[in-house]
Structure 1
Amino acid sequence: MDKEKALSNLGEEELVHKGNAYLKKGNLQLATLHFSVALAKNPKSAPACTGIGQVLLAKGEFSKARDAFAKGLEHDENYRPALLGMAMAYRKQGDPEAAVVHLEKARAAGPDDIEVLTEMAVTYDALGQELLAEPLYTRVIELKPHKASGYNNLGFNYLLQGRYSEAIATFSKAMSLETPSIMMRNNLAAAYVLNGQDENALRLFEKTVGKASAYNNIGYIHMTQGNWDLAEKAFIQALELNPTYYARAQDNLDRLYRYRMSMRSGE
């Protein structure tokens, strides 16, 4: 109560600004408090409604998040953060078509908004429209050429298109721009496997998950591609390295054998 009383002395704009700062840090409780006080001051505040929506989105409460974003859009139908939030909620609920509708409105309001461009590209990827996503990722890179995430996203798009050599080059560029995260290393490793360069993949996976798990990851990727012999070889290598602990490789190997049996019975 004392905190709310102290916050009541702040203006709406400052409350929203502080709420967004707490949201960025992952402190959802304080973010909610600041947005709620802002709404008490101005029930028609699109930024405050959007802030509440972002908190709910972070909690995985997608339907409630959409309700909050919708309230923000009632007060400002072109408020870009609310349109973006609504699109993200729809995509996370498995409705990318509805997400695109809101993203088109958001892009009309801000053609070079990097967050909107990225979310639109991710949504097109989810729809299986990788060729529509590619130029959006490319535009993000043009706007922020020194940001690794743009190259990482484009590299993943190349993976979806089956352009593995280009994916390798693009992931490598991302890793040259900042200290590589585990996700970056794993993305590049997956591209190497898909491009038939298992040894390069092994070195990368090994740095993040250890050698036994590295072989298991390689085997799993081969299995998803129908490369049964290569998958079997990798799973067996994982088990030889760690037969007692590494049960996951055995599970994958058993699954591989079941796949083969089902395919033969269907011939």
Structure 2
Amino acid sequence: MLNRGMKAGSVLVLSLTLLACAATPQKNDGNGGAYSALYDGESTAAFGTSFPAGSPAEAKARGDAAAKAGDWDRALFEYIRGLEMADEPSPEVLYRIGAIHDRRGNANLAEAAYRWALRVEPKEHSARIALGILRLRQRAYGDARQALETAVDEGARSWRAQNALGVLADLDSRFAAAKKHYEAALEINAGSAVILNNLGYSRYLAGDWSGARAALERALAADAEHQLAWRNLGLVHVRQGRYDEALAAFRHTQPSAEAYNDMGYVAMLDGDAEMAARLFDEAMRASPTFYETASENATRVRGRMDGGEDGRESAR
């Protein structure tokens, strides 16, 4: 369903003392200061010998250029150098520091920077939305919802916020609300494969097969390589009994043996034990190396056909 996954890079473990420093906005005293707590890159010695920035704005411009080039360590250095020069911390720069840490998988530092930005300027919507999405990934759903709803209520027009609110609504099985959020996201970012895939899976969860199929086909029209959309479309086809179409969709994401096995599992959940057993048999024929898993599933579904165990929890 969701494009939620993020591979973490090296994560800096922060002491409670360091977090406390990062949590209190203050001007740097020139001896390391609070802002240095937001740096996690390599040694700054080489950066320090470069031509010094003349102003916070110049440091920010250098940080922006480094970030655009993918030089995250240099970007962090320049942003922090600019903060150290300024009379007051810039919420925009703090947000950009958080975004770099978020991208690198440093969740603690990202959250500290986002929250610092919001203490400086509570209506720094970019930081609030990014914080909400970060908390969603961390499964802190209450915090995520509060952050995202606050941003939207205050007038932020963000497809990412609406998309994330749709995900949260789906997690609560509030499918009508989720649909509204995804549609609001599409009004901002029309034709987004990410949003359309999430809408399609949401309609699938709601049992709206035709609505799910329409959204997923639109997602694939926008991005023919969208793996989740192909998989979700395969699930919809199985639910509709369109097994040839399901197999073709699943084959975009996995080998035939796994596709047959997954189709069999969904058929079993739908109560079509006979079709499930046939699909598990196909999985065994498609790949000898997959024989054990498919054979176990086939045995269980046939046991169910004979009045044995349900098999829903243990299949796969």
- Determine if the TM-score, normalized by the shorter chain, exceeds 0.5: yes
Residue 21 (structure 1) aligns with? 68
Matched letter for residue 253 of structure 2: T
CA gap 1:61/1:134 in 2 versus in 1, 3 angstroms: same
Residue 3 (structure 2) aligns with? none
Q: Secondary structure at the match of 2:251?
A: helix
TM-score by length of 2: 0.70
Q: Secondary structure at the match of 1:208?
A: coil
Q: Computing the radius of gyration over CA atoms, which structure comes out larger, 1 or 2?
A: 2
**Count of aligned positions:** 258
1:222 to 249, 267, 272: 267
1:194 to 239, 246, 261: 239
Alignment of 1:38-77 (within 5 A): 38-42=79-83, 44-77=89-122
CA gap 1:8/1:154 in 2 versus in 1, 3 angstroms: farther
Deviation at 1:100, TM superposition (A): 1.0
Q: CA contact under 8 A between 2:193 and 2:226: conserved in structure 1?
A: no
- Cα RMSD after superposing both structures: 2.9
CA gap 1:193/1:117 in 2 versus in 1, 3 angstroms: same
Please tell me whether residue 94 in structure 1 is matched to residue 139 in structure 2.
Answer: yes
Deviation at 1:226, TM superposition (A): 5.3
Deviations 1:191-235 (A, max 9, x none): 111222222101122243232222122123334555444333212
Q: CA contact under 8 A between 1:96 and 1:127: conserved in structure 2?
A: no
Please tell me whether residue 2 in structure 1 is matched to residue 46 in structure 2.
Answer: yes
TM-score by length of 1: 0.82
Q: Secondary structure at the match of 2:219?
A: helix
Q: Which runs of 5+ in 1 are unaligned?
A: none
Deviation at 1:245, TM superposition (A): 4.7
Q: Distance in 1 between matches of 2:271 and 2:66?
A: 49
Moved over 6 A (4+): 257-260
Matched letter for residue 111 of structure 2: R
CA gap 1:38/1:105 in 2 versus in 1, 3 angstroms: same
CA gap 1:110/1:11 in 2 versus in 1, 3 angstroms: farther
Matched letter for residue 173 of structure 1: R
Q: Distance in 2 between matches of 1:12 and 1:110?
A: 30
Q: Which runs of 5+ in 2 are unaligned?
A: 1-44, 312-316
Deviation at 1:175, TM superposition (A): 1.6
Alignment of 1:1-267 (within 5 A): 1-6=45-50, 8-9=52-53, 11-18=58-65, 20-21=67-68, 27=70, 30-42=71-83, 44-225=89-270, 227-245=272-290, 247-250=292-295, 252-253=297-298, 261-263=308-310
CA gap 1:110/1:224 in 2 versus in 1, 3 angstroms: farther
Q: CA contact under 8 A between 1:7 and 1:37: conserved in structure 2?
A: no
Matched letter for residue 68 of structure 2: A
Q: CA contact under 8 A between 1:156 and 1:167: conserved in structure 2?
A: yes
Deviations 1:48-69 (A, max 9, x none): 3323333443454434432221
Larger helix percent:
1
The structure whose RCO (Cα within 8 Å, separation 6+) is larger is 2
Deviations 1:128-177 (A, max 9, x none): 22221111211222233333333222111111211111111111122223
CA gap 1:158/1:20 in 2 versus in 1, 3 angstroms: farther
Matched letter for residue 219 of structure 2: A
The percent identity for this pair of structures is: 21
Q: Secondary structure at the match of 2:276?
A: helix
Q: Distance in 2 between matches of 1:258 and 1:179?
A: 40
Matched letter for residue 146 of structure 2: V
